[in-house]
Amino acid sequence: MRVIAVDQAKRLGRSLACAGLVLLPIMTAIAEDQDPWETFNRAIFRFNDTLDTYFMKPVAKGYQAIAPQFVEDGVHNAYRNIGEVGNLANDLLQVKFHDAGVDSSRLLLNTTIGVLGFVDVATRMGLNRNDEDFGQTLGAWGVSSGPYVVLPFFGPSTVRDTGGLIGDTFTKPYIYMNNTTAKNALFAGEVVDTRASLLSAEKLITGDRYIFIRNAYMQSREFKAQDGKVEDDF
């Protein structure tokens, strides 16, 4: 459950970030065509939603209630800094050498001057963060997204992104740590931090939660896989 909880929260966050785009309603028909397993997906969605309602969300709210804002921001920055390794790896796999230079500079600056990433000095210097994962890399290589699927604990995904999760695993620090206690503590902290960062974003969800998240996710992932170069229907 350790890796899957983080990925669920991250992918939900990416979906909600694009929820306000004006093209979202247009994606409804397209998303429905790409969701042939809706009955199964809705059952898994209800399971994930119940787990979040009674466990993840209360823990995240408790964390926000006791952690000062500067601590919460610093912890979030530190975990984002860990994620720069994955960004850099996928920049190189997509032959994005400029982005690789930016992300490697961010990793170096934030790890040193930014005290292990607690302070995001790179963004203040104009080095904006890229957001890459292996699912996007597969898309850049021409792999079709395939049908939409909701994974237990992971949340919204596609056949392509499900395969991408395997590649993403190798850019995480947890599988390389021998100290079980430290590994579990670091992972648990990331799960709580990620869920807490989504508390305000989830207020954007309206209507049928399943359809809203599905459409937002599908649009967001296509937009990212194509680096924003997508055609509309106007």
pLDDT digits (tens, 9 = 90+) for 75-117: 999 999 999 999 999 999 999 999 999 999 999 999 999 999 9
157 forms bridges with which residues in the sheet?
A: 149
For the chain, domain boundaries: 2-225
18 vs 131, which has greater pLDDT? 131
How sure is the predictor about 155, in pLDDT bands with cuts at 50, 70 and 90?
Answer: very high
Query: Which pLDDT value is given to residue 222?
Result: 86
* β pairing state of 155-158 and 148-151: antiparallel
CA-based nearest residue to 182, from 173, 171, 194, 191: 173
pLDDT at 196 over 80: yes
Q: 3-state class of 155 per DSSP?
A: strand
Q: What sign does the dihedral 65-17-74-123 (CA atoms) show?
A: negative
Query: Which pLDDT value is given to residue 200?
Result: 87
156 forms bridges with which residues in the sheet?
A: 150
pLDDT at 228 over 80: no
Could you read off the pLDDT of 162-194 as tens digits, one per residue?
A: 999 999 999 999 889 999 999 999 999 999 999
User: Global pTM?
Assistant: 0.80
